[in-house]
């Protein structure tokens, strides 16, 4: 009647073969759809997991950087501030002590841009301490010039922007060795 069987009620061989191919095609198509859905689901799960792993890594790196800044501040708080000294030699020694604490922190900084800025600040503080020692008996007092970037912005201001909030105190303290 609808072309599903032979008029006599017995399907002929050609009709059976066509039905088998039709069922096989539908089965293969269904299998491909199921496999595609599984692969797609696994890809989505993997992507979500990767995003979470990167977020966890970033969170852990921030926590380590915060802890490093707090450790630097603790080391600096144990030292005599250069501004509370009375002689140029004592001030130079206090600056060198702070610089030693900063060198320990620099070993933990992984960001090359921040590390370069910290090193330039450290170098300028070292030069200032050297001048203080050389001019200790001079009637004129030396002055500290904080380092700037190529645009004329103070490196300490850039470091405040680049660093975690816990680093702001040590940055401000190390920016003014004459206070």
pLDDT of 63 strictly over 60: yes
pLDDT of 166 strictly over 80: yes
Residue 139: the pLDDT is 76
The predicted-structure confidence for 83-137, as pLDDT tens digits, reads as follows 889 888 899 999 999 999 999 999 888 889 889 999 999 999 999 999 998 887 7
pLDDT of 5 strictly over 60: no
CA 35 to chain centre: 39
C-beta neighbour count of 175 within 10 angstroms: 20
pTM: 0.67
User: Tokens in use for 176?
Assistant: 């003014």
Of 51-60, 91-100, 129-138, 156-165, the range with the lowest mean pLDDT is 51-60
- The pLDDT of 43-65, averaged and rounded, is 81
In which band, very low, low, confident or very high, does the pLDDT at 8 lie, cut at 50, 70 and 90? Answer: low
Domain boundaries, the chain: 63-175
CA gap 12, 20 in Å, rounded: 13
Nearest in space to 36 (alpha carbons), one of 48, 28, 26: 28
In which band, very low, low, confident or very high, does the pLDDT at 1 lie, cut at 50, 70 and 90? Answer: very low
In which band, very low, low, confident or very high, does the pLDDT at 45 lie, cut at 50, 70 and 90? Answer: confident
In which band, very low, low, confident or very high, does the pLDDT at 11 lie, cut at 50, 70 and 90? Answer: low
């Amino acid at each position: 009647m609808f072309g599903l069987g032979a008029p006599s009620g017995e399907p002929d061989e050609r009709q059976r073969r066509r039905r088998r191919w039709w069922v096989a095609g539908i089965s293969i198509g269904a299998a491909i759809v199921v496999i595609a859905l599984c692969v797609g689901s696994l890809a989505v799960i993997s992507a979500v997991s990767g995003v979470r792993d990167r977020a966890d890594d970033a969170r852990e790196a921030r926590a380590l950087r915060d802890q490093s800044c707090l450790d630097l501040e603790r080391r600096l708080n144990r030292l005599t501030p250069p501004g509370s000294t009375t002689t140029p030699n004592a001030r130079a020694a206090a600056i060198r002590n702070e610089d030693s604490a900063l060198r320990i922190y620099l070993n933990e900084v992984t960001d090359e841009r921040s590390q370069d800025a910290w090193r330039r600040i450290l170098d300028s503080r070292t030069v200032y301490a050297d001048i203080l020692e050389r001019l200790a008996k001079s009637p004129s007092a030396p002055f500290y010039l904080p380092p700037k970037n190529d645009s004329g912005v103070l490196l300490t201001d850039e470091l405040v922007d680049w660093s975690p909030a816990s680093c702001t105190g040590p940055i401000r303290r190390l920016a003014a060795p004459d206070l």
